[in-house]
């Protein structure tokens, strides 16, 4: 059974540990090397801080770095927190994505709060075939306007995501027009990244069986890292953010 956060841990944090938590919350993932450079200390010192914060249930320790969310509550708090952040940005991303989708198209709709916003916006279109492993997005779609298919699998989080071999196998048998894909970060150099290996397997399969893939990502995700690559940025036919004019893929060093 996962341990719960220590209710008295906050009071025992050093100033550096508090700053590490703030950075992880703001960036989504931060490397040990970056933290060591930021604070002017050794990587081993930062590693000890991260281990202590992870044991206290205040963040998640990953290979080479750390991300927000404590043990036993990362998925719950992560999804609830994301629902309240960037609401206008997600709405604009959804509107831009939906404008690029013709009526009658066959789509894959990924997991995440941006995809939930996109599901609601898709109700301005008609006659779509939507295949999704996102339970929360599926219920936002108007079933009188679209044909909605839930790709059954194992429920893997409070975000309503379904993962596992059943999802991958069901997707593998399809031929779709567009895959709408989310991510946790886009590294400098153009690697599109995420944390959950099960979700990444679904994203990769959806991209493989679709004629086009659109990446839907808030501006704050550019420059972030995560645990594993989904695909290179160049693999996507469109990159949709809330303000496309702010993203220059080449000058920002993303590709």
pLDDT digits (tens, 9 = 90+) for 47-66: 999 999 988 888 878 777 88
Which of 29-38, 56-65, 105-114, 162-171 has the lowest average pLDDT? 56-65
The answer on 137 and 27 residing in a single domain is no
Q: Are residue 125 and residue 173 in the same domain, yes or no?
A: yes
**Closest to 158 in 3D by CA, of 86, 72, 84, 85:** 72
Same domain as 116, residue 173: yes
Give me the pLDDT at residue 26, please. Answer: 63
Do 68 and 171 reside in the same domain of the chain? no
Tokens representing 140?
């936002």
Give mean pLDDT, residues 129-158: 93
Residue 17, token pair as written in the block: 């540990």
The pLDDT value given to residue 84: 58
pLDDT for 10 equals: 53
pLDDT band per the 50, 70, 90 thresholds, residue 248: low
Last residue of a domain, one of 32, 48, 72: 72
Asked if residue 156 and residue 230 are part of one domain, the reply reads yes
Tally of domains within the chain: 2
H/E stretch holding 151 = none
| Same domain as 154, residue 122 | yes
Rounded Cα distance, 255 and 243, in Å: 18
Same domain, 49 and 98: no
Q: Which domain holds residue 187?
A: 82-246
Question: Same structural domain for residues 32 and 144?
Answer: no
Mean pLDDT of 184-191: 90
Last residue of a domain, one of 29, 47, 72: 72
CATH, residue 32: 1.10.10.10
Q: Is 1 inside any structural domain?
A: no
| Of residues 82 and 127, more confidently modeled | 127
| Same domain, yes or no: 99 and 204 | yes
Contacts of 105 (CB under 8 A, 6+ apart): 125, 128, 129, 177, 178
* 5 lies in some domain: no
Tokens of 94: 């959804």
Strands annotated E in the chain: 30-31, 59-62, 65-68, 106-109, 129-132, 147-150, 154-155, 162-163, 176-181, 185-186, 191-194, 210-216, 228-232, 238-240
User: Is 4 a domain residue?
Assistant: no
Flag whether pLDDT at 4 surpasses 60.
no
Residue 217: how many other CB atoms lie within 10 Å? 26
Q: Are residues 105 and 184 in the same domain?
A: yes
* CATH number where 87 lies: 3.40.50.1360
Task: Clarify whether residues 141 and 197 are in a common domain.
Answer: yes
């Amino acid at each position: 059974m996962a341990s719960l956060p220590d209710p008295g841990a906050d009071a025992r944090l050093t100033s550096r540990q508090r700053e590490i938590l703030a950075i992880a919350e703001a960036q989504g993932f931060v490397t040990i090397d970056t933290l060591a450079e930021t604070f002017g200390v050794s990587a081993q010192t930062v590693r000890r801080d991260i281990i202590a914060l992870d044991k206290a249930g205040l963040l998640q320790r990953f290979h080479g770095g750390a991300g927000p969310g404590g043990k036993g509550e990362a998925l719950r708090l992560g999804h609830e927190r994301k629902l309240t952040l960037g609401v206008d940005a997600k709405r604009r991303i959804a509107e831009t994505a939906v404008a690029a989708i013709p009526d009658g198209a066959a789509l894959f709709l990924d997991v995440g709060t941006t995809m939930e916003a996109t599901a609601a916006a898709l109700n301005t279109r008609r006659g779509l075939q939507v295949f999704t492993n996102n339970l929360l997005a599926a219920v936002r779609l108007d079933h009188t306007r679209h044909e909605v298919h839930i790709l059954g699998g194992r429920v893997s989080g409070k975000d309503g995501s379904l993962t596992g071999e059943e999802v991958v196998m069901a997707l593998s048998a399809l031929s779709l027009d567009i895959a709408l894909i989310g991510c946790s970060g886009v590294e400098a150099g153009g690697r599109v990244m995420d944390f959950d290996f099960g979700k990444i397997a679904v994203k990769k399969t959806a991209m493989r069986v679709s004629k086009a893939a659109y990446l839907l990502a808030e501006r704050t995700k550019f420059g972030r890292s995560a645990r594993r690559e989904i695909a290179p940025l160049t693999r996507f036919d469109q990159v949709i953010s809330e303000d496309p004019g702010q993203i220059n893929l080449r000058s920002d060093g993303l590709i």
